[in-house]
Amino acid sequence: MSKIKIAVAGSGGRMGRALLEGVSQADDLALHAALEHDGSSLLGRDAGELSGTPWGIKIGADAESALLGADVLIDFTRPEGTLSHMEICRRLGVNMVVGTTGLNAQQKAQLGSAAQDIGIVFAPNMSVGVNLVFKLLESASRVLNRGYDIEIIEAHHRHKVDAPSGTAMGMAEVIARTLGRDLAQCAIYGREGVTGERDPSTIGFATVRGGDIVGDHTVLFAGTGERIEITHKASSRATFALGALRAARFLIDNPAGMYDMQDVLGLK
């Protein structure tokens, strides 16, 4: 059986390096291309320098030529870069696993349009554990739908550029959808000064940035006389990489369309 040919965007970043290492350790996967942005100091270097695997594949910025012949591109970069790669993947028939956060509604719609022609797994978090938490939050929200205030507390490393995290937003979307609320109307992203009593229909966010925290998320359901906390803590980016590689395998066996990790894990 031939190996699945994987291309990695943002290969020099923290997630990119974790993905390269994950590919190197998988018997059924092969690195096809390693991409970086124009101007990166890594361009022209062997991708093996980032993972300790002697692939003989040079890191490049020409996505058009690099993606030719690839089976799946895994992209954890920035919205603009992801959408640029998406157009090329759609043209070349290359599937995508997208872990990029910070996409707005219009950009997500563009991904949905591309999924008419290629398979795309798009998820705010590729961790198997986090996606199990999403499922648990559905159940908790149904049961705790009255008399419980909902707050989401998330913490990440000092280098993260968006807030709240995509995972925190994903958790809130699951809760809001289950409760029949419009997240755009009920989300509270910060509090300062005299804010008045808490509106029980809101979903609050608290964001922490510091050090090298990989990713901590807690959803707090605070009631009268008790509180329920559902928490996920990531200690290594390997968990996200392994989930993304699992998603890549899923795309090989499924038709074009838009999927998430709930599809990949059979939780729907």
Active-site annotation, residues? 156, 160
Whole-angstrom distance, CA of residue 193 vs CA of residue 216: 27
Cβ proximity of 137 and 175 under 8 Å: yes
Instruction: Please give the full DSSP string across 178-247, using - where no structure is assigned.
Output: HHT--HHHHEE----S---SPPTT-EEEEEEE-TT--EEEEEEEE-SS-EEEEEEEES-THHHHHHHHHH
Residue 118 Cα to chain centre, angstroms: 18
Whole-angstrom distance, CA of residue 245 vs CA of residue 74: 8
Whole-angstrom distance, CA of residue 266 vs CA of residue 268: 6
Q: 14 pairs with which residues across the strands?
A: none
Compute CA distances 1 → 4, 69, 95, whole Å: 9, 17, 19
